[in-house]
Structures are given as C-alpha cells and as structure tokens.
C-alpha cells in the first residue's frame, strides 16, 4: 500500500501544501487571532536560527514575548538573534547553544533552564533529514536522535516547568509526510533493510504525532498540538531535498507562511479552545491518517513507543550532571 499512500499524499500536497494552498486557506483566517500582546510570556523555540523556527521567533518577538532561541550553531545563532532584535526592537531575546541530537546535552540544558527561567510555551521545531544512515557520538541514528528522542527529552524535561505556568502550550512542528507512515516500533533506529532518509524522516514525524497525542492524555494542564507547515522554501528543504526543491521551488510557501500556524497555536486564544493533542494544518485540525491508507497502529504500540523513549532517555540522563 505504500505506492497508494505516497501518490495520494503527493496529490494532496500539490493541492494543499503549496503557496496556493496557503493563499486559499488564509482567506478564512481571522487576523485578530494573532494580533495579540504576549509581553510577560516566555517562549522557547528549538532550531530557531533559520527557516520556520526563526520566522516563528521573529513574529513572537514582534508581539512582545520573551523568546529563548535554542540553536546548534553559535555563529548562525548570533546572526539570527541580532536580526530578530533589530527588526522587532525586542531586547528580550535569549540564546542557548544546544545540539538536539545529543541527549546528554538536551538533559543538561533543560535541567539548567528549569532552575533559571519561566516558560509558557515550548515550540519543538528543530529537526533534520539525513539521507544516509549516520550515527551520533552516542551511537544513535541521527534522524531519530534529533527528531524523536531530542523532542521527547526536551519536552519531558520541561514539563515540570510548564505544569506551573499559566496557559501552558507545547507545539511540535511535524510534516504531512507522516501520512505515508504507520508507526513502527520494531526498528526505531532504522538499522534493518535499505535506508531511505525521506521515509525515516516521515516515520519520525509520525512518532511526533503519537507523542503529542500521548502527552495530551497524560498532562491535562498543558495544551499540546502538532502541525504541518506545508511545503515551505527553507534552507533545510533546499539542502535535504534538492530534487524536490528544484521541481517545486516556484510553488513553495514562504518561511512566514510555513510558520503561520505555529504562531497561531502559540499565541492565539482560539487555538487553546480546541482539544489538546490535535494535528493542525493552516489553523485547522486535520486527520492524522489518509483514507484507506492502513496507517493506524494498535494503542499498545503507541504506549510502547512512550516506554521505549523513556528508557532511551533515562540512559542518557543518568550520566548527565545534575
């Protein structure tokens, strides 16, 4: 059924995920939803030095929020911070250098952050698509380490801080590509069979949807959501999907258009009125499975994923300071 899922997803993408899809959907947006003042609220954005992360951070800064930029590369992060401060006039932009693919680093950062800052909204945006099987220094497959385990640890470690906050939210940037994948807990690090970076990435994005649904059930005081930004023209797309970019570059969304729903989920009162745990596209909750795609998994597999990630994460916590 993979050919069916891939073809249906691509046709859906051409219709909905491109710039034209955004322009059509945005006709129904209420601009007042995001015309808000969020001064006094604290936002953490991972992968904030470029693309959708930077566009999101910039729009939150324009609205007066305190923004914590979590980035891997010091030099690019400094440039992004300077750009955001200059363009928005908001001085409350703080920079943290963390490699999300390094679980020990993520634990260490989050534990320190918990002791020094408040947090109202966590935006899990950092991600990667590595097209050949690479291992991190910890022996973890890099896509899994960044997209799934890094997101899991960052969120889990900051939940105690979010539990104490007013109108706490967690938003995870996923992808419509997850629609072509059924949750597979038997090979989390993609060590069996041929390696397809795009499909590994899509599996990670399916895992993020499951994480969001499971967290929403377990933490009722926090509003969780996961979203698809559409097909946007970002540095990550250009570098990781060069053939796709060449074919689609004239139809891709801008970074700001890709970030629009992240911003809406992070700042609007309307978003918080909707149930926790949903998957969003263009400010609307949408199904997490294509019709007839057979991508539903047993609830036991979803619970098992959480157990497996908890065991993975604790292995790295035990060797981190604090």
Q: Are 277 and 216 in contact (CB under 8 A)?
A: yes
**3-class secondary structure, 216:** helix
| Separation CA 125–CA 45 (nearest Å) | 7
**3-class secondary structure, 5:** helix
- DSSP annotation of 256 reads H
Q: Residue 93: in which H helix or E strand, if any?
A: strand 93-97
CA distances 147 to 162, 164, 166, Å, are 21, 26, 27
Phi, psi of 202 (to 5 degrees): -60, -40
| Separation CA 261–CA 175 (nearest Å) | 13
- How does strand 121-124 pair with strand 93-97? unpaired
Length of the chain: 322
- DSSP annotation of 126 reads -
- Residue 308 tokens, joined: 């497996």
17 given a catalytic annotation: no
Q: Are 227 and 279 in contact (CB under 8 A)?
A: yes
230-287-200 Cα angle (round to 5): 60
| Separation CA 50–CA 113 (nearest Å) | 22
What are residue 124's DSSP bridge partners?
Answer: 172
| Separation CA 230–CA 254 (nearest Å) | 10
* Catalytic hit among 4, 201, 245, 294: 201
Active-site residue set: 201
């Amino acid at each position: 059924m993979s050919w069916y899922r891939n073809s249906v997803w691509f046709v859906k993408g051409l219709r909905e995920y491109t710039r034209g899809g955004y322009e059509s959907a945005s006709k129904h947006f209420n601009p007042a939803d995001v015309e808000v003042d969020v001064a006094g609220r604290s936002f953490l954005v991972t992968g904030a030095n470029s693309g959708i992360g930077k566009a999101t951070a910039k729009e939150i800064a324009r609205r007066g929020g305190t923004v914590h930029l979590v980035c891997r590369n010091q030099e690019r992060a400094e440039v992004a911070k300077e750009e955001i401060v200059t363009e928005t006039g908001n001085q409350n932009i703080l920079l943290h250098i963390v490699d999300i693919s390094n679980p020990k680093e993520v634990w260490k950062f989050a534990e320190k952050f918990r002791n020094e800052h408040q947090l109202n909204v966590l935006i899990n945006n950092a991600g990667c698509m590595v097209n050949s099987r690479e291992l991190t220094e910890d022996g973890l497959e890099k896509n899994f380490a960044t997209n799934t385990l890094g997101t899991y640890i960052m969120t889990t470690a900051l939940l105690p801080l979010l539990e104490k906050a007013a109108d706490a939210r967690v938003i995870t940037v996923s992808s419509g590509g997850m629609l072509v994948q059924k949750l597979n807990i038997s090979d989390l690090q993609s060590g069996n069979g041929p390696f397809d970076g795009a499909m590994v990435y899509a599996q990670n994005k399916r895992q993020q949807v499951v994480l969001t649904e499971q967290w929403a059930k377990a933490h009722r005081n926090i509003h969780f959501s996961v979203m698809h930004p559409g097909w946007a023209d970002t540095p990550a797309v250009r570098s990781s999907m060069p053939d796709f970019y060449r074919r689609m570059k004239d139809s891709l969304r801008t970074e700001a258009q890709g970030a629009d729903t992240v911003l809406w989920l992070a700042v609007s009162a309307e978003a918080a009125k909707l149930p926790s745990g949903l998957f969003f596209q263009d400010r609307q909750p949408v199904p997490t499975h294509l019709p007839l795609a057979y991508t539903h998994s047993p609830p036991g597999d979803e619970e098992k994923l959480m157990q497996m990630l908890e065991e993975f994460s604790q292995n790295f916590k035990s060797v981190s300071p604090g």
